């Protein structure tokens, strides 16, 4: 499966920097952040396409106030999203800056009008946020355009994931990536449950990845080792910026280390075969082989008293010990000589 020119599942992780609210309402800051994303080594930058009035209702009632120990408690949903949204009139400029910096650019739409707008920009994929995974009409609509659909599963029960995947397949779209996610900001490491990366891949027959809100690189590294083809992390240009998402975002230096760590583990994963590496082949000299442990005269019988198994591997493998014992020496053999086939007398 490709997103733009990036082949997912090829062994190289698709590393996505999430801009989210870290533009802080400043277009110039957003553009500088995208340029910084490229310097950090990401493959893509993702934004979010909504307005406050397309994601919630403008009500001050208690029902619409955020609670539950989040970073945003006691303000209304509308107030949060009014501050956090990325203005639609910026999108074309941000896409241009991303392309100029060699990045894939795509977005999370939060309603059908956002999908329509993003179609005009010809984005190469759609990401459905965790809290929208139960919006089956939205998922069907986004999937109907045939582009890869990335479904974040952090807040979803299995039945809701089943419904979301079925919605994509109902409109003939099998280009699905499921992201393991903990919908907590920041996310506790002990709730990452990374075993689900493999399990979801088997249960839903699709690619899987990670949307990471933890505060270090360990979870993402482990996810890649477990088969994640995509990893997403929030990115901020400068942590002095007063953004709603800064507490769980990485700056350029941190994100660069994040990328380096993932690329390192990729190189360690290798292939499912029994071939050994060049370094290991060279190391085979440290294996054992058969040696004369005393001077042996021509015609003398090989026995456990005159040959043994020792390093380095210059003679026959010790697996031939039983075959050599009882045979005669073809020549005089000095002590510490490796025992090779040309020193063994074989009968006709």
Residues 188 and 317 in one domain: no
158-176 average pLDDT score: 98
Residues 294 and 160 in one domain: no
Tokens 């290798």 sit at which residue? 270
Residues 232 and 337 in one domain: no
Residues 101 and 131 in one domain: yes
Residues 234 and 301 in one domain: no
Can you give the residue range of the structural domain that contains 204?
Answer: 2-50+85-269
Closest by CA position to 175, among listed 142, 197, 202, 153: 142
Specify the CATH number for the domain of residue 313.
Answer: 3.90.1210.10
* 95-109, 231-245, 268-282: which is most confident: 95-109
Q: Is residue 57 part of a domain?
A: no
On whether the pTM is more than 0.75, the answer is yes
Q: Is residue 159 part of a domain?
A: yes
Domain count, the chain: 2
Residues 225 and 315 in one domain: no
Specify the CATH number for the domain of residue 46.
Answer: 3.20.20.70
**Cα 20–Cα 174–Cα 129 angle in degrees, nearest 5:** 20
Q: Is residue 332 part of a domain?
A: yes
155-161 average pLDDT score: 94
Q: Is residue 107 part of a domain?
A: yes
8 A C-beta contact, residue 176 and residue 149:
yes
What interhelical angle do 136-143 and 158-170 show, nearest 10?
Answer: 40
8 A C-beta contact, residue 103 and residue 35:
no
Three-class secondary structure of residue 301 per DSSP: strand
pLDDT at 348 over 80: no
DSSP E strands in the chain: the ranges are: 2-3, 6-7, 14-18, 44-49, 104-109, 126-128, 149-152, 176-181, 207-212, 230-234, 289-292, 307-310, 328-329, 344-345
Q: Is residue 66 part of a domain?
A: no
Share of the chain above pLDDT 90, in %: 77
């Amino acid at each position: 499966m490709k997103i733009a020119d990036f082949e997912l599942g090829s062994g190289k992780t698709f590393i996505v920097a999430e801009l989210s609210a870290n533009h802080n309402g400043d277009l110039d800051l957003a553009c500088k952040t995208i340029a910084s994303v490229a310097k950090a080594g990401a493959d893509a930058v993702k934004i979010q396409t909504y307005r406050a009035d397309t994601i919630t209702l403008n009500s001050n009632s208690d029902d619409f106030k955020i609670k539950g120990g989040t970073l945003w408690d006691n303000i209304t949903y509308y107030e949060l999203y009014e501050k956090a949204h990325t203005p639609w009139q910026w999108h074309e400029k941000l896409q241009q800056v991303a392309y100029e910096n060699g990045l894939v650019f795509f977005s999370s739409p939060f309603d059908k009008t956002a999908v329509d707008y993003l179609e005009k920009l010809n984005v190469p994929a759609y990401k459905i946020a965790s809290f929208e995974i139960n919006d089956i009409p939205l998922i069907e609509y986004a999937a109907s355009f045939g582009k890869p659909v990335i479904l974040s599963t952090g807040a979803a029960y299995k039945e809701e994931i089943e419904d979301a995947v079925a919605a994509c397949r109902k409109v003939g779209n099998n280009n699905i990536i499921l992201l393991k996610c903990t919908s907590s900001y920041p996310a506790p490491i002990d709730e990452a449950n990374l075993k689900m990366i493999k399990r979801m891949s088997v249960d839903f027959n699709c690619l899987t990845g990670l949307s990471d809100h933890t505060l270090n690189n360990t979870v993402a590294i482990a996810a890649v080792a477990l088969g994640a083809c995509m990893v997403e992390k929030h990115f901020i240009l400068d942590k002095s910026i007063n953004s709603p998402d800064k507490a769980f975002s990485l700056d350029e230096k941190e994100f660069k280390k994040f990328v380096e760590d993932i690329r390192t583990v990729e190189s360690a994963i290798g292939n499912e075969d029994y071939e050994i590496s060049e370094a290991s082949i060279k190391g085979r000299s440290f294996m054992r082989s058969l040696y004369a442990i005393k001077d042996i005269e021509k015609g003398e019988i090989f026995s456990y008293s005159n040959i043994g198994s020792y390093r380095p591997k210059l003679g026959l493998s010790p697996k031939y010990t039983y075959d050599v014992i009882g045979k005669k020496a073809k020549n005089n053999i000095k002590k510490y000589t490796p025992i090779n086939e040309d020193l063994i007398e074989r009968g006709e």
